[in-house]
Amino acid sequence: MPLNPLSGRRFLLVDDDESYHYTIGLRLTQKDATVTSVFSIQEAKTLLMSQPFDLILLDSYLIDGLGAELLEFMLQNKVACPVIMITGDEEQQSMQQYFLLGVSGYLLKPINVELLELVVQRCLDAHLNEQKLQQQNRELEQLLDEQQQEEELARHVYRHLSQSFSDQPDAIQSFMRSSKSFNGDFFVAEQLQNGNTLMILMDAAGHGLASAISVLPAVSTIRAMLHEGTSMQNIVHEINAKLCAEIPEDRFVAMIAIEVNYIQAAISIINAGMPEVLILNENGQVHSRIKSQSLPLGIVERNDFNPYVHTHPLHTNQHLFFYSDGLIEQRGLNGEAFGKSGLTDVIRSLNSTNALLNQVVDAFSCHSTGAHVEDDVSVCSVSLGQLHEMYQGKQASVDGLRTGHMQLVLDFAGDLLAPGNMISVLDDVLNRIKLNTLLRQKAFTVFSELINNALDHGVLRLDSSLKHDFESFGQYLEERENRLKTLEQNDRIRLTLGFEPEIGQLYFDIEDSGSGYQQIPSEQVEDEALFGRGLNLVHSLCEQIQVFAPGNRTSVLIK
């Protein structure tokens, strides 16, 4: 047998005709429903304020007023219950008034009890569905509110991480536009402790919050490594390892990393899955195009990750321009992408490379006006001349004449041999004794090279020739990481630092517990080699350098 939809239902019948109380009451009670009968509006009001009902059957005219009065009472007191009017009034104006007051159905007297039952069932079903819909709407509003709160929290975290870096100098201009509430692109420009300028532009796969979350592990890695004295290539490798460990397999991050080395007058560029980097001359003509020769980050593990480093001489009359693919893939209202052709048109029309960013942004905005923003867009423009002037300006600031003497001896052993620990301590000392900028940056570069050499080749006994190409560099880093986990208490590095402010001279001595290692003569180091070049840099920065047999102690003098 089918279920009885009226069983257990509570009805309120409001009518001043006893015959209808009998007829309707009998029909509904036969369906196992409960019927409460009243003859006046006042009785109905009293009951509605004291107990709930599933449906009300209401006559239009009662002994103490019109049925419309009870409907208005229910609205004022927020009594949510479906109402069916039972009346002999056939005037359309009256019917319209009742429906405006919220009735669910209308039956004319004399009552057909079969029709009554059908209308009652229909009204109960409609009311139940309405209640479910209202509950779903409330739940949806709650979810949207929770989502908004979560997005606000995520936006706060993202904003905090992105703003924790220094403000970029005027020589570096950038424009970023997100396609949704969150931006999956990220750009940072920082001056490293050795004086070099590092720029990183990242573009995470996807859009919105999902892509922004993919960028966050990379941002935290950059923050942690910026002041450790490590190379750009090491930073990129660590970002890749972090992304492989923390983001889903179907996610990745494309990247451009650029390091400007003022001492060596060189630019190093890694392009991992991004559009080409343009090097422009002072006339706005494209001098070089640095295309991607590496996989995006987060796809392959350290052993298989081999980012190619493009090296170019630093010319102060040149300009760097790089961007995310959202720039050239954005379509206008005509369906055509801005494309490389749109970018080329802007470059060809340039009068000055200093206006490049603004003109590209203006052309892009004109092209995409009124169109749906399809992807996050990032555009970066760097004046190498202004960047070099900024660097030289900082070097011009020197100390006033000071007297005194400082000597510091540090002995690191075991797990404390992490290079970041030693370099950070020394850099903090240099900061506190207020060295002039040039001497401090020279010292930081020398310390970093000598400490990393002492640890890698002295204590850990790693062969630098393992870094013979970009593919094996990741294997070298993994082996280094494994050997760092096996350090013992008798593995140590002793550092001695002396400073004579009157003559602006630093003395640095480093000795490790290793058996010594053979330094590669500068004439045997190839231009494209990934090893052996650091000590040549040390020689170029120091007034004196002495290596003591068997090669586990080095002393330098820096002015």
pLDDT: is 531 or 286 the higher one? 286
Exposed, middle or buried by CB within 10 Å (0-12, 13-18, 19+), for 420? middle
Taking the C-alpha atoms of residue 198 and residue 219, their distance in angstroms, rounded to an integer, is 14
- H helix intervals, 269-320: none
Q: What is the pLDDT of residue 147?
A: 67
pLDDT: is 467 or 381 the higher one? 381
Contacts of 188 (CB under 8 A, 6+ apart): 165, 198, 199, 200, 219, 222
For the record, the structure tokens of 427 come out as: 């850099």
User: What is the per-residue pLDDT across 130-141, written as a single tens digit (0 to 9) for each?
Assistant: 888 888 888 888
User: What is the per-residue pLDDT across 402-417, written as a single tens digit (0 to 9) for each?
Assistant: 678 888 999 999 988 8
User: What is the per-residue pLDDT across 299-310, written as a single tens digit (0 to 9) for each?
Assistant: 998 888 888 999
Residue 528 in this model has a pLDDT that exceeds 50: no
**Average of per-residue pLDDT across 437-451:** 84
User: What is the per-residue pLDDT across 449-473, written as a single tens digit (0 to 9) for each?
Assistant: 898 888 888 898 887 776 656 666 7
Taking the C-alpha atoms of residue 173 and residue 314, their distance in angstroms, rounded to an integer, is 19
Chain centroid offset of residue 132 CA: 38
Residue 430 in this model has a pLDDT that exceeds 90: no
Kindly indicate the confidence band of residue 383, based on its pLDDT and cuts at 50, 70 and 90: very high
For the record, the structure tokens of 159 come out as: 């904003």
Residue 176 in this model has a pLDDT that exceeds 60: yes
**Average of per-residue pLDDT across 264-281:** 94
Lowest mean pLDDT among 159-173, 203-217, 351-365, 455-469: 159-173
**Average of per-residue pLDDT across 473-478:** 77
Kindly indicate the confidence band of residue 524, based on its pLDDT and cuts at 50, 70 and 90: very low
Angle between helices 533-541 and 437-453 (to 10 degrees): 150
Residue 110: is the preceding peptide bond cis (ω within 30°)? yes
Taking the C-alpha atoms of residue 204 and residue 202, their distance in angstroms, rounded to an integer, is 6
Residue 123 in this model has a pLDDT that exceeds 60: yes
Residue 530 in this model has a pLDDT that exceeds 50: no
Question: Are residues 384 and 408 in contact, defined by beta-carbon separation less than 8 angstroms?
Answer: no
For the record, the structure tokens of 36 come out as: 């409460």
Residue 194 in this model has a pLDDT that exceeds 80: no
Q: pTM for the whole thing?
A: 0.62
Compute the mean pLDDT over every residue in the chain, rounded to the nearest whole number.
84
